[in-house]
Chains A and B, each alone.
Chain A
Amino acid sequence: MKKPVNIYMDYAAATPVDAGVLSKMLPYFSDNFYNPSASYLSAKSVAEDVRSAREKIAKTLAIKPTEIVFTAGGTEANNLSIKGVMSRYPGKKLLISSIEHDSVFAVAANYDHQTIAVKGDGRINTDDLLQKIDDNTVLISIILASNEIGVIQPIAKIAKLLQAVKSDRLKRGNSLPLYLHTDASQAPLYLDLNCNRLGIDLLTLNGGKIYGPKQSGLLVVRTGIEITPLIDGGGQERGLRSGTENVPAIIGLSEALYKAQRKHKQTSKDISELRDYFIRELTKLIPDIEINGSLKHRLANNISIVLPGKDNERLMMELDELGVKCAVGSACSASSDEPSKVLKAIGLSDSQAQSSLRFSLGNTSDKQQIDYVVSGLKTILAKSYI
């Protein structure tokens, strides 16, 4: 029997755990299962492995090991960052971009906050940012690379702008901090994450998007920033995240992040060639196709498109029946969810948002797969009732 087609193009949603990453994790489930806080030598050896995993990450990100707080995934890291800072400064203000992940949008709703507009290409409108910062703004959260439209923000530049705002504040005797947080969950495979170059104060990472395990993640908290923990208990992670360390996840995250950053330039080059080929082929097939977000400042693996007038959920299901897995940019309001905030923020109408599909490429993607998907779409779009 012919093997069924299985083309995965939803790497922004989840990545399979890399074989090398998995083999590094496996010993910590049953053989080296000890609680790193225990005092016998076997446990100390596990604690030592956690320490070196932490050091490896610190080196990769150009930070100190003490600036890492391991979390269960990216959502928790975003929560810890925003709640952790905001609860230290009651009544102060938060700014977030209008294209954040839900784990930022939802948390922000608890605080006095404003959203920063983006331009049509999805990039932050810096005039709007500067205009919305006032003397009570304590935290700004801007996603480094969008999970939905792949747009990359000039975080380092924004950090420089904030330096100027801070020194102006200080001159006027206002010592309120102005922290910059970025959710970099989608970035490690393709972008340089040297935190000094980025100039950030807080940074979220998620192992589940970089061929590491799900529910692994971390928050970078630069030295000198005080945050309140979400979870209290035995005082692990310097009191910022209690609970016995998830050792396999930490080991897996460390390895996955190391691998991602070591070759991010090459990966980005290879995958963006495929992405551009995909977009060219799609444009040939559907002349009125629209690409969501900047083509220039874009993650190498993201293809977010509008197929005008088409029901994206149906297209996704039709493709699934052909063995192709992709994501609806945002499901139709008739079905499950409201139209995506992100797509609306870049100026799409509800109906355009409900005609959006997202393909995100990864390490199994190749030209052959892209050709299959494009010809599949051609067949699907030829059906009169779609």
Chain B
Amino acid sequence: MQKRQKVFVGLSGGVDSSVTAALLLEQGYDVTGVYMKNWSKDLPGMDCPWKQDYQDAKRVAVQLGIPFKMYDFEKQYRSKVVDYMLEEYRAGRTPNPDIMCNQEIKFKLFFETAIADGADLVATGHYAKTRNIHNSSNRNGQLLKAKDDNKDQTYFLYRIREEVLSRTLFPLGEYTKPQVRKLAEKFKLVTASKKESMGICFVGKVGIKDFLLHELGPQQTGEVIDENGKVVGQHDGAIFYTIGQRHGLDVGGGLPYYVTGKDMQKNQVFVTTDLNDSSLWKADIRVQDVHLINGQPKSSDIEVRTRHRAPLVKGRISFQKEDNKASVKLDKDIRALTPGQSVVFYHGSTVVGGGIIY
């Protein structure tokens, strides 16, 4: 008889990861649940839910009859995810901490720790799929879109390395969210009726602005300038403004403003009321820090996604391999290309890679 493969599942205390563990158990794997303790600090106006999440995760392990562990990654999470995020905001960009967390914590630290602890594979409750392609010498994993287009989370996962993908399972990739809820009820899991947790616990609950205020303190106020160069109001900190975003700027007049740019040195925020303003719409994307899964794609025709769940847009990509950059020429203009955010490249349902807008 073949030895059952050992899978370490990241149990967050939410419904998705709980069902993931249950499915793997049903599929015959030897499953161990692991709670990653990444953040435990209370913030103003918010009690960090980690104790509740930890206990829910443990309770799921009890209900499934599997071993349970906790990995304490709090220090690394602080330095690799939170500090990175704060640094990006200070520089005037809008980072994506979830992508960083997947790259540095879940699919690096957790993966390595689990393998060192005897796991053959890891799994999480992400909505995505993996597939192994075999060539002569090694197994390389591919990342593919989830069955549930509405839930597909590949946007957050494009920075995982192929050798990690080759040992990663995403059982939920084959299910829709309503199906997962039904499965949770079928398995009688304590998390069946739990509300969705919002990515990073502290940012989700507190809101990014309050978090930045807490970590970085009050910011210098500065001018908000419209497309005609006219000062239309004051902002309470340029870091809070995301390029491309509609903002309820407190400048009166009623019309919504869109942020078109920022000058961090001069502490100025540029806005427009004209949604057709050319600075809001672009067909050329410049991308740095490119990460490719299984090397450069054969064809330069790709589809891209510039936000989680945003519609795919066709385009052509060219790589500048020497400095790890790429540029994409889209078939049509799109709005709100925000420096610091990621662009993810797709070939059909396969994730080719992605990079960071600059």
Contact = CB atoms under 8 A, between A and B. Distances in A.
B51 A335 contact: yes
Given A335-B51, A336-B51, A313 B66 contact: no
A334 interface: yes
A40 interface: no
B59 A317 contact: yes
A179 to B, nearest CB: 37
Contacts of A383: 65
A127 interface: no
Contacts of A314: 58, 61-62, 68
Contact of B55 (A318, A321, A335, A385): A335
B58 A335 contact: yes
A313 B62 CA distance: 10
Interface residues of B, number: 14
A318 B58 CA distance: 10
B67 A321 contact: no
Interface string B60-89: 011101111010100000000000000000
Please tell me the size bucket of the interface on A: 10 to 19
Interface string A306-347: 000000011001100100000000000011100000000000
B62 A321 contact: yes
Tell me whether chain B's interface is mostly helix, strand or loop, or mixed: helix
A313 B63 contact: no
B63 A334 contact: no
A335 B51 CA distance: 7
Given A335-B51, A335-B54, A335-B55, A385 B67 contact: yes
Given A334-B70, A335-B51, A313 B58 contact: yes
Contacts of B55: 313, 335-336
Interface in A262-297: none
A334 B36 CA distance: 11
A335 B55 CA distance: 8
Given A314-B68, A334-B70, A321 B63 contact: yes
Nearest to B62: A317
Interface in A60-83: none
B62 A385 contact: no
A318 B61 CA distance: 10
A7 B61 CA distance: 22
Contacts of A321: 62-63
Nearest to A336: B51
Contacts of B65: 383
Interface in A34-92: none
B92 to A, nearest CB: 39
Given A318-B62, A335-B70, 18 more contacts: A313-B55, A313-B58, A314-B58, A314-B61, A314-B68, A317-B58, A317-B59, A317-B62, A321-B62, A334-B70, A335-B51, A335-B54, A335-B55, A335-B58, A336-B51, A336-B55, A383-B65, A385-B67
Which A-B residue pairs are the 7 nearest by beta carbons? A385-B67, A317-B62, A336-B51, A334-B70, A317-B59, A318-B62, A335-B54
25 contacts: A313-B55, A313-B58, A314-B58, A314-B61, A314-B62, A314-B68, A317-B58, A317-B59, A317-B62, A318-B62, A321-B62, A321-B63, A334-B70, A334-B72, A335-B51, A335-B54, A335-B55, A335-B58, A335-B70, A336-B51, A336-B54, A336-B55, A383-B65, A385-B66, A385-B67
